[in-house]
Structure 1
């Protein structure tokens, strides 16, 4: 845990990955925050569906692999352990402990919650799903992802253990996707479920943050693709004013719907 904290404090983006109860790999990208020196991420409720299977996961990895969040010559890192999930449906914990950090690291939050007036107007942005890394069982050093369109986080199970890695996608156009381990090792996929996950974002505003993934089964050094999401070559140009308004309305709608559902559950 101690090795991760300085990196988590410095990083702008990070990844959380896990295996669902059914054994399927999953991953999300998020803003790394520290909750009283405990690494965490705080997702708005518009993203509740992305982490629906996380609560039942026995192993979860927190990772920083994007080279833009790493000092030159410093390896990427992933730690595997157990997490807790807090439904902060009122946003009280987020506002007190985490909002100031997010205002620094994630500029879009400044347009929604950078003053008491904005916090009242955009109250739906403050309730969060707070995922905290409570216990670490393994620490892994990984090669950095230096090319967002070609490098991805590989999520799979090996020897009954969550095993994140970094791979280069050699050709993303076919249903059989050749991969190369960024550290030069043979992947030796045994046909089990695997996910390649990546993302890119506009700098320095992070207004556009686009993810992509390819899921299927890993045979040797090749992913047999069964599911596709997003594009590694996503457009990161600025949104129009109308595009920003539409995006905010959609986020507001999804946040309110999922906050209400969480409050009813509990």
Structure 2
């Protein structure tokens, strides 16, 4: 735990990687936080559907592989273990223990909750689903990703997740060439997800993820479903685009908060199990 705690504390971005109960590999980009000395993330309620899939996994990988979050020459790290999921509907846990860390690492939150007045106005940004790493089953060193346009994570496995760092090659509508940057690629036929992201380094206003689901075939990746485009440059948002994005996020958060409140009287509660 000490190793991932040190890396997680310094990282600006990280990744959660897992295989859900249907055997589908998944990954999301996150802001690394610490609750005391425990690595965690605090996801807004717009991500609640993703958290439900994550909570079904027997273990989750907490990864730091982006070179911008690592020291020069330092390799990536993925630590796998069980998680504890907490519905913080009141936002009290997040506000008291995690908010200041998020404001330092994720500047867009400053425009929403950097004062008491903003927190009342944007109340929907304070409730969070907190995912904690409650133990360590195994730790795996990984190659770092220094080129967000060409380096990605390959998440694969049918019951538990394995994570490899890969370089992207030629891509067509149904196939992507990939080359391992650490260990050899897994055997043909396995299901996987190739996942990456990039962000505007000064303010993280644009933090865009992309992902391709499919299977490994003959040293490449056969794509069955894709979202986003690797290497796509993100331009700054205009004022109208900022307003529309905030409205979309607010609507999604409020809707999921309402759903969660039907199952609890509010406050914070643990909603998952620790295997």
The answer to whether the superposition gives a TM-score over 0.5 is: yes
Superposed, which structure 2 residues align to 1:100-111 within 5 Å? 100-111=100-111
Instruction: Tell me which residue corresponds to 1:115.
Output: 115
Instruction: Tell me which residue corresponds to 1:210.
Output: 208
Shift of 1:116: 0.6
Shift of 1:58: 0.4
Instruction: Tell me which residue corresponds to 1:163.
Output: 162
**Runs of 5+ consecutive residues of structure 1 not aligned to the other structure:** none
Shift of 1:220: 4.0
Question: Is residue 198 of structure 1 aligned with residue 178 of structure 2?
Answer: no
Superposed, which structure 2 residues align to 1:83-232 within 5 Å? 83-157=83-157, 161-183=160-182, 185-232=183-230
Alpha carbons 1:186, 1:221 under 8 Å: kept: no
Instruction: Give the whole-Å Cα distance in 1 for the aligned partners of 2:76 and 2:251.
Output: 36
- Quote the RMSD (CA, aligned, Å): 1.2
Q: Which secondary structure state, in structure 2, belongs to the residue aligned with residue 43 of structure 1?
A: strand
Instruction: Tell me which residue corresponds to 2:49.
Output: 49
Q: Which runs of 4+ in 1 moved over 2 A?
A: 49-52
Instruction: Give the whole-Å Cα distance in 2 for the aligned partners of 1:161 and 1:237.
Output: 37
Instruction: Give the whole-Å Cα distance in 1 for the aligned partners of 2:152 and 2:63.
Output: 12
Instruction: Give the whole-Å Cα distance in 1 for the aligned partners of 2:124 and 2:29.
Output: 21
Question: Is residue 243 of structure 1 aligned with residue 241 of structure 2?
Answer: yes
Shift of 1:176: 1.9
Instruction: Give the whole-Å Cα distance in 1 for the aligned partners of 2:99 and 2:237.
Output: 25
Instruction: Give the whole-Å Cα distance in 2 for the aligned partners of 1:169 and 1:235.
Output: 17
Alpha carbons 2:188, 2:219 under 8 Å: kept: no
Shift of 1:50: 2.8
Matched residues, number:
264
Alpha carbons 1:62, 1:79 under 8 Å: kept: yes
TM-score (norm 2): 0.93
TM-score (norm 1): 0.96
Alpha carbons 1:187, 1:220 under 8 Å: kept: no
Alpha carbons 1:168, 1:180 under 8 Å: kept: yes
Alpha carbons 2:18, 2:160 under 8 Å: kept: no
Shift of 1:221: 1.9
Q: Which secondary structure state, in structure 2, belongs to the residue aligned with residue 171 of structure 1?
A: strand
Deviation digits for residues 143-199 of structure 1 (CA, Å, limit 9, x no counterpart) = 1011111111110117x542111111112334121110012x431323121000000
Shift of 1:233: 2.6
Superposed, which structure 2 residues align to 1:24-63 within 5 Å? 24-63=24-63
